[in-house]
Structure 1
Protein backbone atom coordinates (compact mmCIF):
# COMPACT_ATOMS: atom_id res chain seq x y z
CA UNK A 1 0.00 0.00 0.00
CA UNK A 2 1.46 3.35 -0.97
CA UNK A 3 1.32 6.55 1.02
CA UNK A 4 -1.51 7.84 -1.15
CA UNK A 5 -3.51 4.71 -0.29
CA UNK A 6 -2.85 5.04 3.42
CA UNK A 7 -4.23 7.56 5.85
CA UNK A 8 -4.13 10.39 3.33
CA UNK A 9 -2.35 12.73 5.75
CA UNK A 10 0.05 15.43 4.59
CA UNK A 11 3.66 14.38 4.20
CA UNK A 12 4.78 17.62 5.90
CA UNK A 13 2.75 16.85 9.02
CA UNK A 14 5.07 16.19 12.02
CA UNK A 15 2.86 13.17 12.78
CA UNK A 16 3.46 11.67 9.32
CA UNK A 17 6.40 9.41 10.36
CA UNK A 18 4.61 7.94 13.35
CA UNK A 19 1.38 7.38 11.47
CA UNK A 20 2.91 5.83 8.36
CA UNK A 21 5.61 3.77 10.12
CA UNK A 22 3.13 2.21 12.52
CA UNK A 23 0.88 1.14 9.65
CA UNK A 24 3.61 -0.21 7.34
CA UNK A 25 3.10 -3.96 6.83
CA UNK A 26 6.61 -4.71 5.54
CA UNK A 27 10.11 -3.28 5.28
CA UNK A 28 9.82 -2.49 1.54
CA UNK A 29 6.60 -0.55 2.18
CA UNK A 30 8.23 1.30 5.08
CA UNK A 31 11.20 2.19 2.86
CA UNK A 32 8.90 3.57 0.19
CA UNK A 33 6.99 5.67 2.70
CA UNK A 34 10.20 7.08 4.16
CA UNK A 35 11.06 8.62 0.78
CA UNK A 36 7.91 10.79 0.84
CA UNK A 37 8.47 12.34 4.27
CA UNK A 38 8.65 16.15 4.58
CA UNK A 39 8.04 16.39 8.32
CA UNK A 40 11.16 18.45 9.17
CA UNK A 41 11.16 21.81 7.30
CA UNK A 42 14.83 22.62 7.94
CA UNK A 43 15.99 19.24 6.64
CA UNK A 44 13.71 19.40 3.61
CA UNK A 45 15.05 22.85 2.70
CA UNK A 46 18.68 21.79 3.15
CA UNK A 47 18.55 18.49 1.28
CA UNK A 48 16.81 20.17 -1.66
CA UNK A 49 19.19 23.14 -1.67
CA UNK A 50 22.16 20.77 -1.79
CA UNK A 51 20.46 18.87 -4.60
CA UNK A 52 20.03 22.05 -6.64
CA UNK A 53 23.50 23.45 -6.03
CA UNK A 54 25.44 20.18 -6.08
CA UNK A 55 29.23 20.13 -6.03
CA UNK A 56 31.67 20.64 -8.87
CA UNK A 57 32.92 17.06 -8.59
CA UNK A 58 29.38 15.85 -9.31
CA UNK A 59 28.44 18.20 -12.12
CA UNK A 60 25.61 16.69 -14.13
CA UNK A 61 24.57 14.37 -11.33
CA UNK A 62 20.82 14.26 -10.67
CA UNK A 63 20.73 14.35 -6.87
CA UNK A 64 18.26 12.15 -5.01
CA UNK A 65 17.56 15.01 -2.52
CA UNK A 66 14.89 13.05 -0.64
CA UNK A 67 14.85 11.01 2.56
CA UNK A 68 17.13 7.98 2.19
CA UNK A 69 15.64 4.62 3.23
CA UNK A 70 17.55 1.74 4.79
CA UNK A 71 19.56 -0.57 2.56
CA UNK A 72 19.83 -4.34 2.78
CA UNK A 73 17.63 -7.44 3.03
CA UNK A 74 14.30 -7.20 4.83
CA UNK A 75 15.11 -10.36 6.82
CA UNK A 76 18.50 -9.12 8.08
CA UNK A 77 19.95 -10.64 11.24
CA UNK A 78 22.27 -7.68 11.84
CA UNK A 79 21.35 -3.99 11.65
CA UNK A 80 24.01 -1.26 11.38
CA UNK A 81 22.74 2.17 12.43
CA UNK A 82 24.57 5.37 11.52
CA UNK A 83 23.60 9.02 11.99
CA UNK A 84 22.14 10.55 8.81
CA UNK A 85 22.86 10.62 5.05
CA UNK A 86 25.76 12.78 3.90
CA UNK A 87 24.83 15.84 1.83
CA UNK A 88 26.85 14.67 -1.18
CA UNK A 89 26.72 10.97 -0.32
CA UNK A 90 23.38 9.34 0.37
CA UNK A 91 21.55 12.58 -0.40
CA UNK A 92 23.11 12.42 -3.86
CA UNK A 93 22.94 8.68 -4.59
CA UNK A 94 19.75 7.74 -2.73
CA UNK A 95 21.37 4.90 -0.78
CA UNK A 96 22.74 4.81 2.75
CA UNK A 97 26.51 5.38 3.08
CA UNK A 98 26.93 5.37 -0.70
CA UNK A 99 29.18 7.80 -2.55
CA UNK A 100 31.11 9.28 0.40
CA UNK A 101 34.27 8.62 2.43
CA UNK A 102 32.39 7.20 5.41
CA UNK A 103 30.69 4.67 3.17
CA UNK A 104 34.04 3.73 1.64
CA UNK A 105 35.27 2.74 5.10
CA UNK A 106 32.09 0.97 6.18
CA UNK A 107 31.52 -1.12 3.06
CA UNK A 108 35.19 -2.05 2.80
CA UNK A 109 34.97 -3.45 6.33
CA UNK A 110 31.68 -5.23 5.63
CA UNK A 111 33.26 -6.81 2.56
CA UNK A 112 36.34 -7.89 4.48
CA UNK A 113 34.25 -9.71 7.09
CA UNK A 114 32.10 -11.36 4.42
CA UNK A 115 28.93 -9.28 4.74
CA UNK A 116 29.06 -7.37 1.44
CA UNK A 117 29.58 -8.50 -2.14
CA UNK A 118 32.07 -5.73 -2.96
CA UNK A 119 34.29 -3.31 -1.01
CA UNK A 120 32.93 -0.07 -2.43
CA UNK A 121 29.60 1.70 -2.84
CA UNK A 122 29.41 4.32 -5.56
CA UNK A 123 25.79 4.51 -6.70
CA UNK A 124 22.44 2.82 -6.08
CA UNK A 125 22.75 0.63 -9.19
CA UNK A 126 26.35 -0.54 -8.66
CA UNK A 127 25.30 -4.13 -7.90
CA UNK A 128 26.37 -4.10 -4.25
CA UNK A 129 24.63 -6.76 -2.16
CA UNK A 130 24.63 -7.16 1.61
CA UNK A 131 24.53 -10.59 3.25
CA UNK A 132 22.42 -10.83 6.39
CA UNK A 133 23.02 -7.18 7.27
CA UNK A 134 21.01 -4.02 6.73
CA UNK A 135 22.23 -0.42 7.04
CA UNK A 136 20.01 2.41 8.24
CA UNK A 137 20.00 5.64 10.27
CA UNK A 138 17.89 7.37 12.94
CA UNK A 139 17.61 10.46 10.71
CA UNK A 140 16.82 9.87 7.04
CA UNK A 141 17.54 13.33 5.60
CA UNK A 142 20.93 15.02 5.22
CA UNK A 143 21.24 17.69 7.95
CA UNK A 144 23.23 20.95 7.76
CA UNK A 145 26.75 20.44 9.18
CA UNK A 146 25.85 16.76 9.73
CA UNK A 147 24.01 17.79 12.91
CA UNK A 148 20.31 17.02 13.23
CA UNK A 149 18.53 18.79 16.06
CA UNK A 150 17.04 16.78 18.96
CA UNK A 151 13.60 17.67 17.61
CA UNK A 152 14.44 16.33 14.14
CA UNK A 153 15.84 13.17 15.71
CA UNK A 154 12.65 12.64 17.68
CA UNK A 155 10.38 13.37 14.71
CA UNK A 156 12.26 10.82 12.58
CA UNK A 157 12.48 8.13 15.28
CA UNK A 158 9.23 6.32 14.35
CA UNK A 159 10.82 5.23 11.06
CA UNK A 160 13.61 3.45 12.94
CA UNK A 161 11.19 2.04 15.50
CA UNK A 162 9.03 0.74 12.67
CA UNK A 163 12.03 -0.77 10.91
CA UNK A 164 13.04 -2.58 14.10
CA UNK A 165 9.49 -3.81 14.61
CA UNK A 166 9.37 -5.25 11.11
CA UNK A 167 12.81 -6.83 11.48
CA UNK A 168 11.87 -8.30 14.86
CA UNK A 169 11.42 -11.88 13.59
CA UNK A 170 15.01 -12.08 12.29
CA UNK A 171 17.26 -9.37 13.74
CA UNK A 172 19.57 -10.61 16.49
CA UNK A 173 22.24 -7.90 16.73
CA UNK A 174 22.61 -4.17 16.21
CA UNK A 175 25.76 -2.09 15.73
CA UNK A 176 25.33 1.62 16.42
CA UNK A 177 27.90 4.00 14.95
CA UNK A 178 28.50 6.95 17.26
CA UNK A 179 26.99 8.54 20.35
CA UNK A 180 24.23 10.43 18.52
CA UNK A 181 22.97 7.24 16.87
CA UNK A 182 23.20 5.43 20.21
CA UNK A 183 21.04 8.00 21.98
CA UNK A 184 18.52 7.93 19.15
CA UNK A 185 18.43 4.14 18.91
CA UNK A 186 17.77 3.20 22.53
CA UNK A 187 14.20 4.59 22.60
CA UNK A 188 13.53 2.99 19.21
CA UNK A 189 14.68 -0.37 20.57
CA UNK A 190 12.33 0.01 23.51
CA UNK A 191 9.47 0.79 21.12
CA UNK A 192 10.50 -2.11 18.88
CA UNK A 193 10.15 -4.80 21.51
CA UNK A 194 13.25 -4.94 23.70
CA UNK A 195 13.82 -4.04 27.34
CA UNK A 196 16.35 -1.18 27.65
CA UNK A 197 17.95 -0.85 31.12
CA UNK A 198 17.53 2.28 33.24
CA UNK A 199 19.64 4.24 33.60
CA UNK A 200 20.25 3.82 29.91
CA UNK A 201 23.65 2.33 29.04
CA UNK A 202 26.27 4.86 27.98
CA UNK A 203 27.83 4.80 24.54
CA UNK A 204 31.38 3.50 24.20
CA UNK A 205 33.37 1.98 21.40
CA UNK A 206 33.26 -1.78 21.86
CA UNK A 207 30.30 -1.66 24.25
CA UNK A 208 28.22 -4.84 24.21
CA UNK A 209 24.87 -5.11 25.94
CA UNK A 210 22.31 -7.89 25.75
CA UNK A 211 18.70 -6.72 25.67
CA UNK A 212 15.88 -9.05 26.62
CA UNK A 213 12.81 -9.15 24.42
CA UNK A 214 9.64 -7.85 26.04
CA UNK A 215 7.59 -10.56 24.33
CA UNK A 216 9.74 -13.41 25.63
CA UNK A 217 11.36 -13.98 22.24
CA UNK A 218 15.06 -14.01 21.34
CA UNK A 219 17.29 -11.38 22.93
CA UNK A 220 19.18 -8.71 21.01
CA UNK A 221 22.94 -8.04 21.19
CA UNK A 222 23.68 -4.31 21.03
CA UNK A 223 27.19 -3.11 20.09
CA UNK A 224 28.69 0.37 20.10
CA UNK A 225 31.28 1.54 17.57
CA UNK A 226 32.83 4.90 16.82
CA UNK A 227 31.23 6.49 13.76
CA UNK A 228 32.99 6.05 10.42
CA UNK A 229 33.29 9.83 10.01
CA UNK A 230 36.38 11.31 8.41
CA UNK A 231 37.21 12.97 11.70
CA UNK A 232 37.47 9.54 13.32
CA UNK A 233 39.03 7.58 10.48
CA UNK A 234 41.55 10.23 9.40
CA UNK A 235 42.83 10.70 12.96
CA UNK A 236 43.04 7.00 13.73
CA UNK A 237 40.44 7.13 16.47
CA UNK A 238 38.66 4.44 14.48
CA UNK A 239 40.92 2.12 12.48
CA UNK A 240 39.77 -0.45 9.91
CA UNK A 241 40.83 -3.21 12.32
CA UNK A 242 38.70 -1.73 15.12
CA UNK A 243 35.68 -1.53 12.82
CA UNK A 244 36.15 -5.07 11.51
CA UNK A 245 36.41 -6.36 15.07
CA UNK A 246 33.06 -4.90 16.11
CA UNK A 247 31.34 -6.02 12.91
CA UNK A 248 32.76 -9.54 13.23
CA UNK A 249 31.63 -9.88 16.83
CA UNK A 250 28.19 -8.60 15.95
CA UNK A 251 27.88 -10.96 12.97
CA UNK A 252 28.82 -13.88 15.19
CA UNK A 253 26.26 -12.83 17.80
CA UNK A 254 23.65 -12.55 15.03
CA UNK A 255 24.42 -16.03 13.78
CA UNK A 256 25.38 -14.92 10.28
CA UNK A 257 27.32 -17.34 8.12
CA UNK A 258 28.82 -15.39 5.19
CA UNK A 259 28.34 -17.03 1.75
Structure 2
Protein backbone atom coordinates (compact mmCIF):
# COMPACT_ATOMS: atom_id res chain seq x y z
CA UNK A 1 0.00 0.00 0.00
CA UNK A 2 1.06 3.61 -0.58
CA UNK A 3 0.74 6.84 1.34
CA UNK A 4 -2.04 7.77 -1.11
CA UNK A 5 -4.03 4.69 -0.07
CA UNK A 6 -3.80 5.69 3.58
CA UNK A 7 -4.65 9.31 2.81
CA UNK A 8 -7.76 8.16 0.96
CA UNK A 9 -8.77 6.00 3.92
CA UNK A 10 -8.28 8.91 6.31
CA UNK A 11 -10.50 11.10 4.16
CA UNK A 12 -13.23 8.44 3.97
CA UNK A 13 -13.22 8.04 7.74
CA UNK A 14 -14.13 11.69 8.27
CA UNK A 15 -17.47 11.26 6.44
CA UNK A 16 -18.74 8.24 8.40
CA UNK A 17 -22.21 8.54 9.99
CA UNK A 18 -22.79 4.86 10.81
CA UNK A 19 -23.57 5.30 14.52
CA UNK A 20 -26.49 7.67 15.27
CA UNK A 21 -25.67 8.04 18.99
CA UNK A 22 -22.07 9.00 18.25
CA UNK A 23 -23.02 11.37 15.43
CA UNK A 24 -25.49 13.16 17.71
CA UNK A 25 -23.02 13.40 20.58
CA UNK A 26 -19.95 14.56 18.64
CA UNK A 27 -21.97 17.24 16.81
CA UNK A 28 -23.73 18.43 19.96
CA UNK A 29 -20.39 18.81 21.75
CA UNK A 30 -19.08 20.74 18.74
CA UNK A 31 -22.03 23.14 18.92
CA UNK A 32 -22.19 23.64 22.68
CA UNK A 33 -18.40 23.62 23.24
CA UNK A 34 -16.50 23.97 26.47
CA UNK A 35 -16.27 27.52 27.84
CA UNK A 36 -12.49 27.61 27.46
CA UNK A 37 -12.83 26.87 23.75
CA UNK A 38 -15.98 28.87 22.96
CA UNK A 39 -14.18 30.96 20.30
CA UNK A 40 -12.87 27.91 18.46
CA UNK A 41 -14.49 25.92 15.66
CA UNK A 42 -14.73 22.28 16.69
CA UNK A 43 -13.92 19.48 14.24
CA UNK A 44 -17.02 17.52 15.31
CA UNK A 45 -16.44 14.61 12.89
CA UNK A 46 -14.82 11.16 12.98
CA UNK A 47 -11.08 11.50 13.63
CA UNK A 48 -8.70 9.63 11.29
CA UNK A 49 -5.35 8.18 12.27
CA UNK A 50 -2.24 10.35 12.38
CA UNK A 51 1.21 9.37 11.17
CA UNK A 52 3.09 8.09 8.12
CA UNK A 53 2.18 5.10 5.95
CA UNK A 54 5.59 3.50 6.56
CA UNK A 55 5.15 3.52 10.35
CA UNK A 56 6.69 0.56 12.14
CA UNK A 57 4.96 1.39 15.43
CA UNK A 58 1.19 1.84 15.80
CA UNK A 59 -0.32 3.33 18.96
CA UNK A 60 -3.89 2.18 19.43
CA UNK A 61 -6.08 4.15 21.83
CA UNK A 62 -9.80 4.01 22.59
CA UNK A 63 -11.69 6.90 20.95
CA UNK A 64 -11.34 10.67 20.46
CA UNK A 65 -11.89 12.88 23.49
CA UNK A 66 -14.92 15.18 23.31
CA UNK A 67 -12.93 18.40 23.77
CA UNK A 68 -9.59 17.02 22.55
CA UNK A 69 -9.48 15.28 19.16
CA UNK A 70 -13.19 15.97 18.57
CA UNK A 71 -12.24 19.65 18.80
CA UNK A 72 -8.90 19.66 16.97
CA UNK A 73 -9.40 16.86 14.43
CA UNK A 74 -6.21 15.00 15.35
CA UNK A 75 -5.79 12.03 17.65
CA UNK A 76 -4.70 12.85 21.22
CA UNK A 77 -4.38 16.54 20.37
CA UNK A 78 -5.51 19.36 22.63
CA UNK A 79 -6.14 17.53 25.92
CA UNK A 80 -4.27 16.32 29.01
CA UNK A 81 -3.92 12.76 27.72
CA UNK A 82 -2.29 14.06 24.57
CA UNK A 83 0.10 16.21 26.60
CA UNK A 84 1.36 13.11 28.37
CA UNK A 85 1.49 10.95 25.25
CA UNK A 86 3.27 13.38 22.92
CA UNK A 87 5.79 14.36 25.57
CA UNK A 88 6.68 10.68 25.94
CA UNK A 89 6.88 10.19 22.17
CA UNK A 90 9.20 13.18 21.93
CA UNK A 91 11.46 11.77 24.65
CA UNK A 92 11.52 8.48 22.77
CA UNK A 93 12.52 10.14 19.50
CA UNK A 94 9.17 9.28 17.90
CA UNK A 95 7.78 12.83 17.59
CA UNK A 96 9.34 16.09 16.48
CA UNK A 97 7.74 18.17 19.26
CA UNK A 98 6.75 17.44 22.88
CA UNK A 99 3.47 19.39 22.76
CA UNK A 100 0.46 18.88 20.51
CA UNK A 101 -1.97 21.79 20.49
CA UNK A 102 -3.66 21.76 17.08
CA UNK A 103 -3.67 19.81 13.83
CA UNK A 104 -1.60 22.53 12.12
CA UNK A 105 1.14 22.89 14.76
CA UNK A 106 3.79 21.17 12.56
CA UNK A 107 4.23 18.22 14.91
CA UNK A 108 5.25 15.09 12.99
CA UNK A 109 5.49 11.50 14.10
CA UNK A 110 8.64 9.51 13.28
CA UNK A 111 8.11 5.89 12.26
CA UNK A 112 4.90 5.95 14.30
CA UNK A 113 1.17 6.26 13.73
CA UNK A 114 -1.65 6.89 16.22
CA UNK A 115 -5.21 5.67 15.75
CA UNK A 116 -8.22 4.38 17.67
CA UNK A 117 -10.68 1.49 17.25
CA UNK A 118 -13.59 3.96 17.53
CA UNK A 119 -13.26 7.11 15.43
CA UNK A 120 -15.93 9.30 17.06
CA UNK A 121 -16.03 10.76 20.55
CA UNK A 122 -18.46 8.67 22.66
CA UNK A 123 -20.49 9.92 25.64
CA UNK A 124 -18.58 9.30 28.90
CA UNK A 125 -15.71 7.91 26.79
CA UNK A 126 -17.59 4.61 26.57
CA UNK A 127 -18.51 3.32 23.11
CA UNK A 128 -21.15 0.64 22.93
CA UNK A 129 -20.32 -2.83 21.53
CA UNK A 130 -22.35 -2.18 18.36
CA UNK A 131 -20.44 1.07 17.79
CA UNK A 132 -17.13 -0.70 18.24
CA UNK A 133 -18.24 -3.32 15.71
CA UNK A 134 -19.48 -0.69 13.22
CA UNK A 135 -16.07 0.97 13.35
CA UNK A 136 -13.99 -2.22 13.10
CA UNK A 137 -13.68 -2.16 9.32
CA UNK A 138 -11.83 1.17 9.45
CA UNK A 139 -9.16 -0.26 11.75
CA UNK A 140 -8.84 -3.36 9.60
CA UNK A 141 -8.26 -1.29 6.49
CA UNK A 142 -5.74 0.85 8.33
CA UNK A 143 -3.80 -2.18 9.49
CA UNK A 144 -3.73 -3.56 5.95
CA UNK A 145 -2.34 -0.25 4.69
CA UNK A 146 0.52 -0.25 7.22
CA UNK A 147 2.82 -2.65 5.38
CA UNK A 148 5.89 -1.89 7.53
CA UNK A 149 4.15 -2.37 10.88
CA UNK A 150 6.22 -4.25 13.49
CA UNK A 151 4.61 -3.46 16.84
CA UNK A 152 1.22 -2.28 18.13
CA UNK A 153 1.14 -0.43 21.46
CA UNK A 154 -2.34 -0.81 22.93
CA UNK A 155 -3.36 1.91 25.38
CA UNK A 156 -5.72 0.08 27.69
CA UNK A 157 -7.76 -3.11 27.67
CA UNK A 158 -10.22 -1.83 25.06
CA UNK A 159 -7.43 -1.38 22.50
CA UNK A 160 -5.88 -4.72 23.50
CA UNK A 161 -9.17 -6.47 22.75
CA UNK A 162 -9.57 -4.60 19.45
CA UNK A 163 -6.19 -5.91 18.27
CA UNK A 164 -7.17 -9.54 18.82
CA UNK A 165 -10.52 -8.98 17.10
CA UNK A 166 -8.73 -7.61 14.02
CA UNK A 167 -6.19 -10.41 13.80
CA UNK A 168 -8.06 -12.95 11.69
CA UNK A 169 -9.82 -10.49 9.31
CA UNK A 170 -6.53 -8.66 8.59
CA UNK A 171 -3.86 -11.35 8.77
CA UNK A 172 -5.85 -14.56 8.38
CA UNK A 173 -4.58 -15.85 11.72
CA UNK A 174 -6.79 -16.90 14.60
CA UNK A 175 -5.91 -15.41 17.98
CA UNK A 176 -4.71 -17.76 20.71
CA UNK A 177 -7.26 -19.49 22.92
CA UNK A 178 -7.60 -18.24 25.58
CA UNK A 179 -6.62 -14.79 24.45
CA UNK A 180 -3.63 -13.29 26.26
CA UNK A 181 -4.63 -11.09 29.18
CA UNK A 182 -3.98 -7.38 29.04
CA UNK A 183 -1.38 -5.91 31.36
CA UNK A 184 1.00 -2.98 31.42
CA UNK A 185 4.25 -4.04 29.76
CA UNK A 186 2.84 -7.36 28.56
CA UNK A 187 4.17 -8.39 25.14
CA UNK A 188 2.77 -11.09 22.89
CA UNK A 189 4.41 -12.12 19.65
CA UNK A 190 3.19 -14.49 16.95
CA UNK A 191 5.37 -15.53 14.00
CA UNK A 192 5.06 -13.24 11.01
CA UNK A 193 2.81 -10.72 12.78
CA UNK A 194 3.39 -7.39 14.52
CA UNK A 195 4.10 -7.77 18.21
CA UNK A 196 1.46 -6.39 20.56
CA UNK A 197 2.57 -4.44 23.65
CA UNK A 198 0.18 -3.43 26.42
CA UNK A 199 0.25 -0.11 28.25
CA UNK A 200 -2.11 1.57 30.67
CA UNK A 201 -4.06 4.30 28.92
CA UNK A 202 -2.78 7.87 29.21
CA UNK A 203 -6.07 8.96 30.77
CA UNK A 204 -6.12 11.57 33.52
CA UNK A 205 -7.43 8.91 35.87
CA UNK A 206 -4.25 6.90 35.35
CA UNK A 207 -1.72 9.72 35.12
CA UNK A 208 -3.08 11.85 37.98
CA UNK A 209 -3.20 8.88 40.37
CA UNK A 210 0.28 7.64 39.48
CA UNK A 211 -0.97 4.36 38.04
CA UNK A 212 0.88 5.40 34.88
CA UNK A 213 4.00 7.50 35.35
CA UNK A 214 6.23 9.16 32.74
CA UNK A 215 8.95 6.61 33.53
CA UNK A 216 6.54 3.73 32.91
CA UNK A 217 5.52 5.25 29.58
CA UNK A 218 9.16 5.79 28.64
CA UNK A 219 9.82 2.10 29.27
CA UNK A 220 6.91 1.15 27.00
CA UNK A 221 8.18 3.23 24.09
CA UNK A 222 11.74 2.10 24.65
CA UNK A 223 10.47 -1.47 24.37
CA UNK A 224 8.34 -0.59 21.33
CA UNK A 225 11.36 0.86 19.56
CA UNK A 226 13.36 -2.26 20.32
CA UNK A 227 10.60 -4.56 19.04
CA UNK A 228 10.26 -2.46 15.90
CA UNK A 229 13.99 -2.44 15.24
CA UNK A 230 14.07 1.34 15.58
CA UNK A 231 16.91 1.42 18.11
CA UNK A 232 19.37 0.26 15.48
CA UNK A 233 18.31 3.23 13.33
CA UNK A 234 19.34 5.73 16.01
Report the alpha carbon displacement of residue 255 of structure 1 after superposing the two structures with TM.
1.4
1:189, distance to aligned residue in structure 2 (A): 2.7
Correspondence for 2:142: 163
Per-residue Cα deviation, 1:66-90 (whole angstroms, up to 9, x for no partner)? 0000000011000000000000000
**DSSP 3-state at the match of 2:189:** strand
TM-score normalised by the chain length of structure 1: 0.86
Residues 1:174 and 2:148 are matched in the alignment: no
The runs of 5 or more residues in structure 1 that have no matched partner are 1-24, 214-218
When residues 194 and 107 of structure 1 are mapped into structure 2, their CA distance, relative to the original with a 3 A threshold, is: farther
User: Whole-Å Cα distance in 2 between the matches of residues 148 and 184 of structure 1?
Assistant: 12
Instruction: Choose from 213, 220, 223 the match for 2:194.
Output: 220
Partner of 1:250: 224
Are positions 1:111 and 2:90 aligned together?
yes
Give the aligned partner of residue 35 of structure 2: 56
**1:92-142 deviations in whole A, cap 9, x for unaligned?**
000000000000000000000100001010000000010000000000000
- Name whichever of 194-203 and 64-73 sits farther off: 194-203
Aligned counterpart, 1:92: 71
| Matched pairs, number | 230
Match of 1:19 in 2: none
Q: Residue deviations 1:193-235, cap 9 Å, x none? A: 163212111111111000233xxxxx31110000000000000
Could you tell me how far apart the structure 1 residues matched to 2:190 and 2:21 are? 34
What residue ranges of structure 2 are gaps of 5+ in the alignment?
none
- Mapping for residues 191-230 of structure 1, pairs under 5 Å: 191-193=169-171, 195=173, 196-213=175-192, 219-230=193-204
Q: State TM-score, norm by structure 2.
A: 0.95
